[in-house]
Structure 1
Amino acid sequence: MMSFKPINSIHQHLCAFHVYSHDRSRHVEAHHYCKHLSGEFHQCVIYDSDKPDAKLIGIEYIVSERVESGLLQLATKSLVPGAAADAAEQPAMLELQKTYGKTIHTWAIDISPELPLGPPNLMVSYTADGQGPPEEMVRKRDEEWGQDTATKKELRKGYLPPYEKVEGADEWEKTGRAVKFSVEEVALR
């Protein structure tokens, strides 16, 4: 008998955008399917869409302390309309606002859509206005999900406390340096 207990314990779907740590011109829509191991720690599998043929493109570990933005959306597509969806997502956004993710994409879906070739990539989220994905990506997602990112952002200002970044987080903003994984062949031990 097969068991799907780990998969069946996934209880949250978030839709966000990620950008490559080393190339801020490459943005990817990312559908997170998450399990909360505790209020302070979530683990997510990431797909390129919410469709039945979605491709598994990465993983993310989310730990406490995140960003006031409309880009992260609780995926309530047509299940809960309008204001009800906003109210339903408030507890999740309050919990996620002050978190950081360790996000690795194992499939560079934007340059190799057929197969997961090459090394994994460290992905990052956006930490300020103006860093987000191209407007057409956000518009496409909003149309598909019946949501409005700009309205969400304004609504969240009413209930999310001001964001204060933890010292040492998002070091790339200070250094201008990024992480890129590379493949290295070594002697077998």
Structure 2
Amino acid sequence: MSCGDHSQPAYGTPEYHSAGAAVMSFAPIQQIHQHICAFHPYAHDKTRATRAHHFCTHIRPDMHQCVIYDGPGDKARLIGIEYIVTDELFKSLPEDEKKYWHSHKYEVESGLLMLVAKPGVSNETMDTAEQPAMRELRKTYGKTIHTWIFDEYPDLPLGPPQLMMSWTNDSDWETEEFKAAVAARDAELGVSTEGKRTLRAAYLPKDGFEPDAKADYPTHCGKSVMLKPVEVDVKPL
């Protein structure tokens, strides 16, 4: 008498993934509702920056949490995380904490930071849809750690994590390499950074807001914080 085939799909195969989706919950990931694309310069090295695709969740009105990939596709590498807080919450942080955070005002106003549309969604639709987000994000700050330094180690996430910042003025990305990176992003997504800059100048509030001077530490102080491994004694049980 045959009892049937009780073999299971091999680990890592599409069949195994489908079986997992049928019996497990992915609730935190399913709360993601926003796809943001921007560029992250290294906090300690202004000559290096990477494109970053953020997939974000609002965990409360004054805070987002985002997982960051190097691209928008299904084979993208998970390269880091970013926490985004409002101006009010940032001002409440301990003073020594603020050096890890960067502002978003320039990124929003310049058009460098943008929401990413699904294929088939027009730029006109997206330009309208992203306006509430841009009004909010303009007055926020991010704390970003990249765990996969893929521009140096493309195959594996080697080395210590790195603190990342944001560009805060036009001169930060005036090199030919950075201009080419922005142009390549725009071409791939079918968007225009300069077009968004012009459009946003018409609808973003002219309220005199300036980021807190304690953010963007490398820009203001010419120094940065690096995350370096330190060997310590293990605390026993």
Please, what TM-score do these two structures have when normalized by structure 2? 0.77
Question: Equivalent of 1:49, from 66, 71, 77?
Answer: 71
Give the aligned partner of residue 96 of structure 1: 137
Q: 5+ residue gaps in structure 1?
A: none
CA distance in 1, matches of 2:42, 2:188: 24
Moved over 6 A (4+): none
- What's the offset of the Cα at 1:77? 4.4
Question: Equivalent of 1:171, from 201, 205, 217?
Answer: 217
Question: Equivalent of 2:185, from 115, 119, 141?
Answer: 141
Indicate conservation of the 8 Å contact 2:42/2:164, yes or no: yes
Moved more, 161-170 or 79-88: 161-170
Question: Equivalent of 1:160, from 199, 204, 228?
Answer: 204
| Partner-residue secondary structure (3-state), 1:93 | helix
2:158 alignment partner AA: L
Change in 2 beyond 3 A, CA 1:24/1:167: closer
- What's the offset of the Cα at 1:39? 2.5
Which string of whole-angstrom CA distances, capped at 9 and with x for unpartnered residues, describes residues 132-166 of structure 1? Answer: 37111111110111100011011111111244112
1:17 alignment partner AA: F
Indicate conservation of the 8 Å contact 2:44/2:218, yes or no: no
- What's the offset of the Cα at 1:74? 0.3
1:147 alignment partner AA: V
Indicate conservation of the 8 Å contact 1:78/1:145, yes or no: no
CA distance in 2, matches of 1:150, 1:87: 16
Indicate conservation of the 8 Å contact 1:35/1:43, yes or no: yes
Which structure has the greater CA radius of gyration?
Answer: 2
Change in 2 beyond 3 A, CA 1:77/1:69: farther
Is 2:43 the counterpart of 1:21?
yes
Question: Equivalent of 1:130, from 171, 190, 195?
Answer: 171
What is the aligned-residue identity percentage? 51
Indicate conservation of the 8 Å contact 1:78/1:146, yes or no: no
- Superposed, which structure 2 residues align to 1:108-123 within 5 Å? 108-123=149-164
Q: 5+ residue gaps in structure 2?
A: 1-22, 88-103
- How many pairs does the alignment contain? 189
CA distance in 1, matches of 2:213, 2:226: 23
CA distance in 1, matches of 2:148, 2:133: 27
Task: Compare the two structures and name the one with the higher strand fraction.
Answer: 1
CA distance in 2, matches of 1:33, 1:140: 20
1:26 alignment partner AA: R
CA distance in 2, matches of 1:79, 1:159: 25
